Amino acid sequence: MNISLLLLAQSEAWIPPVSGLGRLAVIAWTLAALLAGGYMGAQVMQIRYATLADGQRARRKLPLSFSMLLPFTVNVKRFHRAKYQTLRAQTETQLVAAGYDTVLSPVEFLALRLLVPLVMGTGSVLMLYLLFARLPGGIGEGMRERQIFVFVSLVLYFVMSPKLWLKRTIRERHRQFDRALPFVLDLLTLSVEAGMDFMSSIRRIIERRKVDALSEEFIRATREMQIGRTRREALRDMAKRAQHPDLSSVVSALCQADELGVGMGTILRIQADQIRQRRFQRAEKLANEAPVKLLFPLVCFIFPSVFLVLLGPILLEMLSTGVF
């Protein structure tokens, strides 16, 4: 009881008295916080879709910082200039490889790379500064001594986060290609060897598969062929968009077979076997790397916990009996 009364007295001494003007300021800040929270909640609940070539819509998820700042990207005009043309082209290539080209334009993504550290980084630094200034005791002093390092690290994180998000999204899309490509090639091989032509086989497989990254690219390639592009051009554009090495090798082999008049079934079977073999090799490589990756958590976290559980009672008993 005495301890609780002491803590209450300290907290009352820490909180300054509030005047009439202070009450208005508190009310204003509360309303602003509620409005900001409502805006953040609306952006979190908002679902964004990418429109595919056949009219279907695929769900796309954006980070919270992107969703909050995306409406304000129209105010950033600098990336429309001609000197940023190369940067816009590189960004567009990455967005296409990530599957977000119909959700974010290159100018919007470049504006987000500017707004995220400027708004989110500055706001986070300001909030932490006010928090560190209010922290009492040794904890507050320790945090105030290290606040420059914390602020710089936080700003660097927000500077790098848009680019890291884009690279992570491209890797995730490439993993979808890795999982789907061998099975799709097997189905294409069976269909072609059964007597169906290549385009009919692709359409049949697309209709019966769940829409994933590979299906999206095949849908777009088939629609391009339907509007008059040759098969080789559509397939090469698909490989260029995906930027996946296995898919690029398959497209190169199919284009060469189309030029030389070689049977598609044989080429597809060879490519499927090669891709499956490379997939097994990658799995073996990851399995060989697992013991090395487990070494750090074992030594730093698991072994100390085991030693504490096993030796802790013994050490306590020895201390209580006066052995030490």
Tokens of 179: 């999982």
Angle 269-271-273 (CA atoms, 0-180°, nearest 5)? Answer: 70
Residue finishing a domain among 173, 207, 222: 173
Tokens of 286: 């990851």
- Rounded distance, CA 319 to CA 57, Å? 68
Per-residue confidence (pLDDT) for residue 11, from 0 to 100: 44
Spell out the residues 6+ positions from residue 259 whose beta carbon is closer than 8 angstroms to its own. 232
Looking at the structure, tell me whether residues 51 and 68 fall in a common domain: yes
Looking at the structure, tell me whether residues 186 and 224 fall in a common domain: yes
Q: Flag whether 2 is in a domain.
A: no
Residue 57, beta-bridge partner list: 51
Q: Flag whether 111 is in a domain.
A: yes
Q: Flag whether 19 is in a domain.
A: no
Q: What is the pTM of this model?
A: 0.76
Looking at the structure, tell me whether residues 136 and 262 fall in a common domain: no
Looking at the structure, tell me whether residues 53 and 161 fall in a common domain: yes
Nearest of 11, 61, 66, 68 to residue 37 by alpha carbon: 68
Per-residue confidence (pLDDT) for residue 39, from 0 to 100: 62
Q: Flag whether 102 is in a domain.
A: yes
Looking at the structure, tell me whether residues 57 and 167 fall in a common domain: yes
Quote the domain boundaries for residue 52: 37-173
Looking at the structure, tell me whether residues 189 and 160 fall in a common domain: no
Per-residue confidence (pLDDT) for residue 94, from 0 to 100: 94
Looking at the structure, tell me whether residues 169 and 239 fall in a common domain: no
Spell out the residues 6+ positions from residue 54 whose beta carbon is closer than 8 angstroms to its own. 219, 223
Angle 292-297-300 (CA atoms, 0-180°, nearest 5)? Answer: 120
Q: Flag whether 236 is in a domain.
A: yes
Q: What is the CA radius of gyration of the chain?
A: 29
Looking at the structure, tell me whether residues 158 and 218 fall in a common domain: no
Provide the number of structural domains found in the chain: 2
- Rounded distance, CA 173 to CA 317, Å? 56
CATH number at residue 213: 1.20.81.30
Q: Flag whether 292 is in a domain.
A: no
Looking at the structure, tell me whether residues 181 and 275 fall in a common domain: yes
Its sign, for the CA torsion 241, 243, 246, 249, is: positive
Q: Flag whether 320 is in a domain.
A: no
Nearest of 34, 33, 166 to residue 93 by alpha carbon: 166
Length of the chain: 324
DSSP letters for 196-257: --HHHHHHHHHHHS---HHHHHHHHHHHHHHTT--HHHHHHHHHHHH--HHHHHHHHHHHHH
Tokens of 207: 């209709």
Strand 57-60 to 48-51 pairing: antiparallel
Per-residue confidence (pLDDT) for residue 114, from 0 to 100: 92
Looking at the structure, tell me whether residues 139 and 75 fall in a common domain: yes
Q: 52: phi > 0 → left, psi -120 to 50 → alpha, else beta; which?
A: beta
Q: Flag whether 138 is in a domain.
A: yes
Residue finishing a domain among 139, 154, 173: 173
Looking at the structure, tell me whether residues 46 and 165 fall in a common domain: yes
Q: For 76, list phi and psi in degrees, rounded to 5.
A: -95, 105
Looking at the structure, tell me whether residues 134 and 235 fall in a common domain: no
Query: Can you list the residues of the chain whose pLDDT is less than 50?
Result: 1-16, 18
Per-residue confidence (pLDDT) for residue 51, from 0 to 100: 66
Residue finishing a domain among 113, 141, 173: 173
Q: Is 50 helix (H, G, I), strand (E, B) or coil?
A: strand
